[in-house]
Structure 1
Amino acid sequence: MALQFHSVPVTPFQQNCTLLWCDDSKRAAVVDPGGDIDRILKAVEERGLKLEKILLTHGHLDHVGGTAPLSRQLNLPVEGPHEADQFWIEKIVVQAQMYGFPPVETFTPDRWLKDGDTVTVGDEVLEVVHCPGHTPGHVIFFHRASNLALVGDVLFAGSIGRTDFPMSNHQDLIDSITKKLWPLGDAVKFIPGHGPMSTFGQERQTNPFVADKRFG
């Protein structure tokens, strides 16, 4: 498989920061660097990778808290999320104070993403799917060639994202999962923002929030 991945749990929330890299070129992206930059860079160094960009699924603190220093240190462009999450990114300094996180800096992505866009990691191309609900600007990244999706906090093994935040919407989240994720195929394996991997097919069978039998 030309696209490889490795997840590094970061922050007290144990968020799955994921390294994605092209096997041929060893060029890599870091997805959702929420914090613990030294731990992320150690994983990059151990694999002999060349970081070329940062990709973000949404604007919550535990997913974007390390973006500004990492981007500045390595001169990395930031792509994502959708512009509807700008207000979350602007609030991360306050979020960090509220949750007792180390101080963080806000930032402006170099590229906001929208539904139907693509992003590259080395020679590999991933599709961008806008999946609002948990946040209004949440996006997921789908690598069709390897049936791999990075879904942030849209979907988890056995659960779904919270919708009790400002601008969250439970019905939008259900629609994002059932109308945007499921059509990608049951065989798709996904890396969630927290917890273990699963497949869309497994969640359609067993996830109490979005299993097919709920809508039958």
Structure 2
Amino acid sequence: MALKYEVIPVTGFQQNCSIIWCDKTNEAAIVDPGGDVSLLLAKVKELGVEVKRVLLTHGHLDHVGGTMAISSTFNVPVWGPEKEDEFWLQALPSQSQMFGFEHTDAFTPDRWFEDGDEVTVGESVLTVIHAPGHTPGHIVFVSLEDRLAWVGDVLFYGSIGRTDFPKGDHATLISSIRDKLLPLGDDIAFIPGHGPQSTFGNEREFNPYVADGLPTP
């Protein structure tokens, strides 16, 4: 398994930022740097990895608040999410005010992802899956070879993402999980945006929102 990762909870929302890297090349990406940038920089230094890009699952402040500071520090591009989340990124100043966070400027990523895109981290390949519902442009990163996924706020251990935000939709979220994620395999371990890790198989069996045998919304 070439892909390694370390999860660092950041911000008052304890958002799971991940530093992921290829153990063969030492090249790394940072997924959802929501804040606490000094903590993330210290961890990168401790790991001794070479950050090549920032990857975003969606546009909520607790997932993107430290993005531009990380990008400028390492002089690396920002990729993701899908373009339907542009309105969230443009609303970052008001998100900051709403949640009592330090002011965060709006920004536009260097690349918007589309369903089926691929991104490399060293020799590892991440497949991009558009998984709307929590937000309309939410994406998930999956390493099919390493059987790992970064699912942002789509799916949690025993729960699912909120759908009461603007352009959120419960039925769409359930479809994203059941039709796009769970069929990838019970053995895939996932790192959610908050809380403990799990596997698709565990959620397919026990998650009260998406388990097998539940009616389709």
TM-score, shorter chain, exceeding 0.5? yes
1:108-163, Cα deviation, whole Å (9 max, x unpaired): 10000000000111121100000000000000000011100000000000000000
Mapping 1:59-78, distance limit 5 Å: 59-78=59-78
Deviation at 1:54, TM superposition (A): 0.1
> Which amino acid in 2 is paired with 1:14?
Q
Give the corresponding residue for 1:29: 29
Write the distance in 2 (CA, Å) between the matches of 1:103 and 1:64: 12
Cα displacement string for residues 179-200 of structure 1 (whole angstroms, at most 9, x for unaligned residues): 0001101111000000000001
Equivalent position of 1:16 in the other structure: 16
* Partner residue in 1 for 2:196: 196
Aligned partners of 1:183 and 1:207: how far apart in 2? 15
The answer to whether the aligner puts 1:168 opposite 2:200 as a matched pair is: no
Q: Which amino acid aligns with 2:198?
A: S
- The DSSP-based 3-state class of the residue aligned with 1:213 is coil
Instruction: Say if 1:68 and 1:106, in contact at 8 Å, map to a contact too.
Output: no
Unmatched segments (≥5 aa) in structure 2:
none
Give 1:134-149 correspondences, 5 Å limit: 134-149=134-149
**Unmatched 5+ stretches in structure 1:** none
The aligned length equals 216
Q: Quick one: which amino acid aligns to residue 41 of structure 1?
A: L
User: What is the DSSP-based 3-state SS (H/G/I as helix, E as strand, rest coil) of the residue aligned with 2:214?
Assistant: helix
RMSD between superposed Cα atoms in Å:
0.9
Q: Quote the offset at 1:104 in angstroms.
A: 1.2
1:56-90 deviations in Å (ceiling 9; x for gaps): 00000000011112112221100100000000000
For 2:80, the equivalent position in structure 1 comes to: 80
Matched residue type, 1:179? D
What does residue range 92-107 of structure 1 map to in structure 2 within 5 Å? 92-107=92-107
Normalising by structure 2, we get a TM-score of: 0.98
Q: Distance in 2 between matches of 1:112 and 1:183?
A: 25
3-state DSSP class of the match of 1:146?
A: coil
Structure 1 Cα separation of the partners of residues 26 and 101 of structure 2: 32
Are 2:112 and 1:112 aligned?
yes
Task: Please say if 1:158 is aligned against 2:158.
Answer: yes
Quote how far apart the aligned CAs of 1:107 are. 1.1
How far apart are the structure 2 equivalents of 1:75 and 1:108? 15
Cα offset, 1:213, TM superposition: 2.3
Cα separation, 2, equivalents of 1:215 and 1:205: 14
SS in 1 for 2:39: helix
> What residue in structure 2 maps to residue 186 of structure 1?
186
What's the % identity of the aligned pairs?
A: 57
1:202 CA displacement: 0.4
TM-score (norm 1): 0.98
**Matched residue type, 1:169:** D
Q: SS of the counterpart of 1:215?
A: coil
> What is the CA-CA distance between 1:26 and the residue it aligns to?
0.8
Secondary structure, aligned partner of 1:205: helix
In structure 2, how many angstroms separate the alpha carbons of the residues matched to 1:154 and 1:176? 8
Partner SS, residue 134 of structure 2: coil
After TM superposition, the runs of 4+ consecutive aligned structure 1 residues lying more than 4 A away are none
Shift of 1:165: 0.3
Aligned to 1:177, what secondary structure does the other structure show? helix
Structure 2 residue identity aligned to 1:12: G
Equivalent position of 1:6 in the other structure: 6
**SS state at 2:5 partner:** strand
> Which residue in the other structure is 2:127 paired with?
127
